[in-house]
A and B are shown apart, each in its own frame.
Chain A
Amino acid sequence: MSQPWWSSEAMWRKCAIWVTAVMVVVLMGLTFDTVRQITAGGERVPGYDVINKKIFYEYDADRGYQVPRIGEDAPLFGQTLTAADAEALVEKGKLTTQAKNCMNCHTLLGNGSYFAPDLTKSWLDPAWINEGLREELMLNFLQDPMNNARTFGTGRRMPDLNITDEEARAVVAFLKWMSSIDTNGFPRGFTPLKQED
């Protein structure tokens, strides 16, 4: 064989195996750490009972962008839930967003479809006018979008998805919890609902 060793079939077979193996091992290591950090109640994703608290946005000078903060008691729909009940409610909400196929119009955490606005921080969106009106407006919107949808003059209305009152409340809980996730400053420059302190 006049072929140099660095271009031989055997060398590259070994190389392919080793490169793949090393990358997989590195990915595994990173995955363990990442999953630990994003487990609900972990460093970056608050526990589900955060829906009992006020969630607001604050500029973090060290990181150079706004981050979600958790404040005083502000129970959703005026009811303080146990950790288990809060989890059950958020779970129902998440299940509803999947069963209603929200992700094929909206984005959640920026992933999904681009026909309707991102939902990552929808709990904090100024469209709800103020904190006092927010919960009721959200429930009305979800249950009767044909009459309550906010289309800002585009005519792109959310369809009627047969969302029940129970499901709507669960979806609101899910959205409130999602707004507390640390997303490294996404969406960029978000202007939250005016906060009453």
Chain B
Amino acid sequence: MSEAAANPIDRAEETDDGNRPGQKLALYYFSAAMVLFAAQILFGLIIGLQYLYPDLLYNVLDFSVARMVHINAMIVWLLMGFIGCIYWLVEDEAGRDLVGAKLAFVNFWILTGAVAVVVAVYLFVQIGPGELRSIWLINEGREYIEAPRWADIGIVVCVLIFFYNVAATFTKGRWSGISGVLVLDLIALAALYLAGMYFTPNISVDQHWWWWVVHLWVEATWEVLVGCIMAWGLIRTLGANRRIVTTWLYIEVAMMFGSGILGLGHHYFWIGTPEYWLTIGGFFSALEPIPLVAMVVHAVYDAGRHGFKSSNHPALAWLIAHAFGNFFGAGVWGFMHTLPQINLYTHGTQWTASHGHLAFFGAYATIVIAIIYLAIQKARGDVWMSGALPGNGFAWKWSLALLNIGVLGMTVALLISGYEQSFVERALEGSTWSAYFEAQQTPWFVQGMQWRMVFGWITAAGLALLLWDLATIGRRETRPVQVLNPVPA
């Protein structure tokens, strides 16, 4: 049962050659995730253009439809990326091949097929009559969780199968602290989705539970999931000491859930919920960046003791991008507008869009991309991915730079537009429809939208380069992976 605690896992014999069934399946999930990432950016470009040219695709592919695909593609590609990461690590962590591999492959194709059908219906049916069957068959009309009810149920079934694969593999193999946290977190993640699966005419009640899914995913369970993936990654790629990493995973869980669960309060300021949420939300929001800031200390400590050595430079670079993106996107951009005194002006403006872009990219997109680089290195035969790559590694370096500059630029541009919007619409003009439209036409707002578009194209260029790099990196490499001196713990 728990020889895991005695930790012979870490220096496990290298059966881990990228050819295990779970690892093969992970590559399928990563490929699907990248296709959806491309869809996210494509539809993002369309809606960005619609701000500047409102007649573009009017009554053909309206903003509402393209925006729904933009945000749904993001949610699903990140989830598929996470699932891929977990299939990638489960065999290594459990010390045996995936249990129920055949079922897992079938599950992948069902899930992918369902996603394709949902997107096709979004694009070609778009809307339905005001009847229950519309939200069962077409779309549910609730931001981020628009998927129609049939797909909701399908997603739950697919997630249960995934859960079975993972839990059974650990049970037949071995458990560890990391896998324990991972499995409990997956249960919470799946259970929370159920909170988003019912209809009520009461919009306050609707949004109250809707935030359980959206907030408790993004600001609690997803964070812990990433923590588990990181923990495994640190042990596997840097040879970090398992006991220390597991302890820190527990510390992170305590901090994330300690501040994140009641941090839910900062979404309950203005939706009809009681006034005490202003204080609770304000308090926990004020504390939320502190763990993030404190982690800086840990990074310095580790760097000082071990140095940043890595046999996979692109992955390490994306992990560093993750640290900065998470800090600025979630920490700085989050706290700037989270206190109710300010949020009263900024809630429901481009401020939220600004924060959303940097936070999702910085906290989640970066980490999935980093793990994909690790997986590809293995899958291409454990090849060299350190310095001195062909062409000096220009593709991964430029795609990293373009994607980060693009997203950061969009974030700043949207912040300027958002600031102008909250200024004119809320503070000056009285929050009416005419105030809204007046704000949309101010020069600062319009220029912000134009710059957002410029940086949107830069992001798209970065993505194209990233996909090309992922498809080609290491294919012609003959050097084996760089052997690092074992790191003292």
Chain B, 344-376, CB within 8 A of any chain A CB: 344-345, 347-350, 352-353
B243 within 8 Å of A (CB atoms): yes
CB-nearest residue of chain B to A110: B348
B141 within 8 Å of A (CB atoms): yes
| Shortest beta-carbon distance from B34 to chain A in Å | 24
**Given A117-B433, A159-B58, A162-B127, CB of A101 within 8 Å of CB of B271:** no
| Shortest beta-carbon distance from A22 to chain B in Å | 9
| Shortest beta-carbon distance from A10 to chain B in Å | 9
Q: For B347, what are the chain A residues with a Cβ–Cβ distance below 8 Å?
A: 110, 186
13 extra interface residue pairs, beta carbon distance < 8 Å, beyond A34-B268, A99-B138, A188-B431:
A24-B261, A44-B273, A87-B201, A103-B143, A105-B63, A112-B348, A125-B433, A126-B432, A127-B432, A154-B54, A157-B58, A164-B129, A188-B427
Checking A104, A114, A154 against B65 with a beta-carbon cut-off of 8 angstroms, the contacting residue is: A104
Query: B261 and A20: CB pair below 8 A?
Result: yes
Q: For B35, what are the chain A residues with a Cβ–Cβ distance below 8 Å?
A: none
User: How distant is the Cα of A4 from the Cα of B269 in the complex, in angstroms?
Assistant: 42
| Shortest beta-carbon distance from B65 to chain A in Å | 7
A61 within 8 Å of B (CB atoms): no
| Shortest beta-carbon distance from A93 to chain B in Å | 8
Query: B280 and A191: CB pair below 8 A?
Result: no
Checking B54, B55, B143, B277 against A104 with a beta-carbon cut-off of 8 angstroms, the contacting residue is: B143
Q: For B247, what are the chain A residues with a Cβ–Cβ distance below 8 Å?
A: 7-9, 12
Checking A16, A34, A118, A170 against B273 with a beta-carbon cut-off of 8 angstroms, the contacting residue is: A34
Q: For B68, what are the chain A residues with a Cβ–Cβ distance below 8 Å?
A: 101, 104
| Shortest beta-carbon distance from B343 to chain A in Å | 9
User: How distant is the Cα of A160 from the Cα of B187 in the complex, in angstroms?
Assistant: 42
B322 within 8 Å of A (CB atoms): no
A37 within 8 Å of B (CB atoms): yes
Q: For A37, what are the chain B residues with a Cβ–Cβ distance below 8 Å?
A: 273-274
**Given A117-B437, A118-B348, CB of A20 within 8 Å of CB of B141:** no
Residue of B138, B207, B271, B440 with most chain A CB atoms under a 10 A cut-off:
B271
Query: B134 and A95: CB pair below 8 A?
Result: yes
| Shortest beta-carbon distance from A52 to chain B in Å | 16
Q: For A164, what are the chain B residues with a Cβ–Cβ distance below 8 Å?
A: 129
Query: A110 and B270: CB pair below 8 A?
Result: yes
Checking B138, B201, B276, B437 against A154 with a beta-carbon cut-off of 8 angstroms, the contacting residue is: B437
- B residues apposed to A, CB below 8 Å: 47, 50-51, 54-55, 58-59, 62-65, 67-68, 126-132, 134-135, 138-143, 146, 177, 181, 199-208, 210, 243, 246-247, 250-251, 253-254, 257-258, 261-262, 264, 268-278, 280, 344-345, 347-350, 352-353, 421, 426-427, 430-438, 440-441
Query: A155 and B55: CB pair below 8 A?
Result: yes
User: How distant is the Cα of A117 from the Cα of B270 in the complex, in angstroms?
Assistant: 16
**Given A9-B246, A105-B67, A153-B441, CB of A99 within 8 Å of CB of B129:** yes
A143 within 8 Å of B (CB atoms): no
Checking B128, B181, B274 against A99 with a beta-carbon cut-off of 8 angstroms, the contacting residue is: B128
**Given A105-B67, A150-B433, CB of A38 within 8 Å of CB of B204:** yes
**Given A45-B202, A125-B432, A183-B271, CB of A99 within 8 Å of CB of B135:** yes
User: How distant is the Cα of A12 from the Cα of B350 in the complex, in angstroms?
Assistant: 40
| Shortest beta-carbon distance from B2 to chain A in Å | 13
CB-nearest residue of chain B to A103: B143
Query: B135 and A98: CB pair below 8 A?
Result: yes
| Shortest beta-carbon distance from B400 to chain A in Å | 29
Query: B274 and A100: CB pair below 8 A?
Result: no
A82 within 8 Å of B (CB atoms): no
Checking A15, A105, A108, A110 against B254 with a beta-carbon cut-off of 8 angstroms, the contacting residue is: A15
Chain A, 5-38, CB within 8 A of any chain B CB: 7-9, 12-13, 15-16, 19-20, 23-24, 26-27, 30, 33-35, 37-38
User: How distant is the Cα of A38 from the Cα of B199 in the complex, in angstroms?
Assistant: 16
Q: For B262, what are the chain A residues with a Cβ–Cβ distance below 8 Å?
A: 23, 26-27
| Shortest beta-carbon distance from A88 to chain B in Å | 9
Range of interface residues on A (Cβ < 8 Å): 35 or more
Query: B59 and A99: CB pair below 8 A?
Result: no
Residue of B68, B273, B352 with most chain A CB atoms under a 10 A cut-off:
B273
CB-nearest residue of chain B to A122: B433
**Given A153-B437, A189-B427, CB of A19 within 8 Å of CB of B254:** yes
Query: A189 and B257: CB pair below 8 A?
Result: no
Query: B437 and A23: CB pair below 8 A?
Result: no
Checking B65, B275, B345 against A101 with a beta-carbon cut-off of 8 angstroms, the contacting residue is: B65
Q: For A118, what are the chain B residues with a Cβ–Cβ distance below 8 Å?
A: 348, 431, 436
Query: B63 and A152: CB pair below 8 A?
Result: no
**Given A38-B272, A44-B274, A167-B129, CB of A127 within 8 Å of CB of B434:** yes
Ranked nearest first, the 5 interchain pairs of A and B with the lowest CB-CB distance are A96-B130, A98-B141, A110-B348, A191-B430, A152-B437
Q: For A24, what are the chain B residues with a Cβ–Cβ distance below 8 Å?
A: 261
A91 within 8 Å of B (CB atoms): yes
User: How distant is the Cα of A184 from the Cα of B267 in the complex, in angstroms?
Assistant: 13
Query: A34 and B274: CB pair below 8 A?
Result: yes
Q: For A146, what are the chain B residues with a Cβ–Cβ distance below 8 Å?
A: 59
**Given A95-B134, A104-B64, A110-B270, CB of A30 within 8 Å of CB of B257:** no
A92 within 8 Å of B (CB atoms): yes
Query: B274 and A33: CB pair below 8 A?
Result: yes
User: How distant is the Cα of A5 from the Cα of B335 in the complex, in angstroms?
Assistant: 34
Query: B270 and A101: CB pair below 8 A?
Result: no
User: How distant is the Cα of A129 from the Cα of B27 in the complex, in angstroms?
Assistant: 59
User: How distant is the Cα of A103 from the Cα of B71 in the complex, in angstroms?
Assistant: 12
A39 within 8 Å of B (CB atoms): yes
User: How distant is the Cα of A191 from the Cα of B258 in the complex, in angstroms?
Assistant: 40
Checking B141, B204, B243 against A109 with a beta-carbon cut-off of 8 angstroms, the contacting residue is: B204
Query: A109 and B203: CB pair below 8 A?
Result: yes
**Given A101-B146, A114-B349, A187-B431, CB of A151 within 8 Å of CB of B437:** yes
User: How distant is the Cα of A185 from the Cα of B341 in the complex, in angstroms?
Assistant: 11
CB-nearest residue of chain B to A160: B59
Checking B135, B202, B344, B350 against A95 with a beta-carbon cut-off of 8 angstroms, the contacting residue is: B135
